[in-house]
Amino acid sequence: MQKRKLGNSGLEVSALGLGCMGMSYGYGPAADKQEMISLIRSAVDRGVTFFDTAEAYGPFTNEELVGEALAPFRKQVVIATKFGFKLDPTVERGLSGLDSRPEHIKQVAEASLRRLRVDAIDLFYQHRVDPDVPIEDVAGAVKDLIRQGKVKHFGLSEAGAQTIRRAHAVQPVTALQSEYSLWWRNPETDTLPTLEELGIGFVPFSPLGKGFLTGKIDENTAFDSSDFRNIVPRFTPDARKANLAMVDLLRTIGERKKATPAQIALAWLLARKPWIVPIPGTTKLGRLEENIGSAAVELTANDLREIESAAAKITVQGARYPEKLEQMTGR
């Protein structure tokens, strides 16, 4: 697979990464651990070198999974993980608030190093901006960890443009991870221009719209009771029915390109900027191979104009998060 550099940092990764959250958390019951280890290793065999996890996924079990799966390949892969939540396994989804105090960041780093079975964390993101801790203090704490050799690169997730600038002034930010896809384009307003100006890479999560842009979900799809999508306004049956217009657009382009809707959605992201590295997640080998195949789909300038023109006529229905979670983004 082709490689890309995340901004000016020099951190080189495969053009597509693998988001590992859904293997343990968020989209129904955790998948079988041995099957997921096999899937992660299959990704390595197919050229994927960039893997995304977080202590919050599980909590903790996803980092352990990723650490075990990638232990034999440590020198050829890049592992990203995250800090910034208060974790309580007794509460729903395991999250009981935000905590980016410097002493907590350092405790999380030590624990993540153990679970990931690594000597240094390749990319350490603040999972969500903590309004109670100045971002300069957060960046300073990660800077200390970088000096100590425990972390290699600093990242932010779902941060607003001013926060990115303030953090970058203390410790250069290698990458921002935020949601971005054809059905969530808000980053184009302030975020992408800021990243381009500062030389920061962009790692879109949910590049397939939490599975919706694959074309395998419609208004009749039933999700497991523990699936996060049950509380997402964009996934009410009425919203799904309306939003199929976006899938129809991807399918139309895909038929011409001999590609699936998911491959067109990912190819569109890859065509946006050379420093964008999407991290689609999956628990299925066939889907992994389909996603990897998107890196070989070339969209011409005419294709991109056609997608842009058609997408502009589609109004996506439903908020992407419940209000409480949306308040944690863009700070």
Distance CA 108, CA 83 (A): 6
Phi-psi region at 129: left, alpha or beta (left = phi > 0; alpha = psi -120 to 50): beta
> How many CB atoms lie under 10 A from the CB of residue 251?
15
By CB atoms closer than 10 A (0-12, 13-18, 19+), residue 15 is: buried
Runs of H (alpha helix) within 204-330: 237-257, 261-272, 285-293, 301-311, 323-326
Residue 212 host element (H or E): none
184 within 8 A of 320, measured Cβ to Cβ: yes
Q: Are 204 and 178 in contact (CB under 8 A)?
A: yes
Catalytic residue among 27, 57, 125, 321: 57
SS3 146: helix
**Rounded Cα gap, residues 177 and 130, in angstroms:** 16
Is 57 designated active site? yes
What gap in Å lies between CA 303 and CA 253, rounded to an integer? 8
Rounded distance between C-alpha atoms, residue 16 and residue 245, angstroms: 26
Catalytic residue numbers, as ranges:
57
